Chains A and B, each alone.
Chain A
């Protein structure tokens, strides 16, 4: 909160420092029409705009935090899941190679000989495609949610605010009497000092005031955007929550099935190879030794894959809980809501401060 107030104070101080005031009463009267009561009124207008914006974007604080957390929780799940499906199929393919060696000289219970064309992947192309399409859609959903909850500042809004402020200032300067600015210097020539005062005409609406208008318009734009997000996003997120839960639960079951299949595949490879090597004691010693030495590699690969699947399962749980937290916050059930709102006042102020700093100084 202190940080936010500091931001607002800094902005207002900056405004106060750069706005110049024409002495002419008539000018002041005209200005009162748009800026309230002089410097205080102008400050009040900008402060009010900022307050409204900060309050609204402050309400978005929890959503912003959870949106960012959701984004962080989704990325590893998507990457690991894609990798897990590909790995499981690759491991199964390898097992089928071992299977070919075992079955090649045998006939099955129906008297059929081994046919390599009977191989099939663990997951079909269609099954993989559905999963990848779902993960891609999930990524897009999370990206959109994160973008909408991260604030409504935009380059377009910044440009539009500047343009509108330019337009208002343009008309104001056309019809309002010009202001003036005096500067005094002391010159010393041949030991004689002279004071020279130069008065130059300035626009009726100074660049500082113009910047103030731009900030106010920008704050209003952000307020309107935040209001829309706050009104409509919770409905979408809350509706999606049971779907995300269903997806995470089904993917966790997928992981269990993949683990089970990989255990069977790796055990098959190791056990069949072990049996072969125990039976073929008369084979070339060097070749046999090389084949024996490959057995631990299969175990290592199994352990690494198992670990990845465990990580994926933990990631799925995290993703589910993170989305729950987002949905709870969207419904206003977050006990940390106030804390987050206060923390976010600072970032909202920072955003407007950044925009104000980008405006041209006089």
Chain B
């Protein structure tokens, strides 16, 4: 594959890459990879590896930016999930309280029964 057949990409692109620019870099990376896999010429391999590495660096910078942006998104989501979990804990406690309340009434009845058992039935 001649050099003129490779996809043209901006020399110093802004990170994060726009989808079109990202796609162009990925395509160029793939073209270098195809050329690498098609030759055993060590000189050409060295040149192709170096060129591919330069393209890979740009893609990696974009991946880093995506991962960093996601980290911020995840931190925000984490806060929201924690709020929801507090709400669910409160709901669980309210439901547990129903059984607790019934147990309290049971205790009261048991107490009444004890008191009444001391009173002779007329």
Contact = CB atoms under 8 A, between A and B. Distances in A.
A128 to B, nearest CB: 9
Contact of B81 (A131, A163, A240, A274): A240
A260 B66 CA distance: 11
A126 B67 CA distance: 12
Chain B facing A: main interface SS: helix
B80 A221 contact: no
Contact of A144 (B59, B75, B92): B92
Interface residues on B, range: 35 or more
Nearest to A218: B102
Contacts of A119: none
B53 interface: yes
Interface stretch (A46-54, A165-173, A341-349): A165-173
A123 B67 contact: yes
A243 B42 contact: no
B88 interface: yes
B116 A243 contact: no
A239 interface: yes
Contact of A160 (B60, B82, B103, B110): B103
A140 B106 contact: no
Interface of A: 122-123, 126-127, 130-131, 133-134, 137-138, 140-141, 144-145, 147-148, 152, 154, 156-157, 159-161, 163-164, 166-168, 170-171, 174-175, 217, 221, 224-225, 228-229, 232-233, 236, 239-240, 243, 246-247, 250-251, 253-254, 256-257, 260-261, 264, 267-268, 271-272, 274-275, 278-279
B99 A164 contact: no
Nearest to A102: B49
Pick the 3 closest A-B CB pairs, nearest first: A167-B109, A163-B106, A160-B102
B91 interface: yes
Given A141-B85, A144-B89, A229-B91, A250 B102 contact: no
A154 B60 CA distance: 53
B80 A257 contact: no
B83 to A, nearest CB: 9
B1 interface: no
B28 to A, nearest CB: 13
A229 B67 contact: no
B52 interface: yes
B21 interface: no
B56 A130 contact: no
A171 B78 contact: no
A275 B94 contact: no
B88 A148 contact: yes
B88 A236 contact: yes
Given A164-B102, A225-B95, A278-B45, 11 more contacts: A131-B74, A147-B92, A167-B107, A175-B121, A229-B91, A236-B87, A240-B80, A250-B73, A261-B60, A267-B56, A272-B49
A280 to B, nearest CB: 10
A171 B60 contact: no
Contacts of B102: 157, 160-161, 163-164, 217, 221
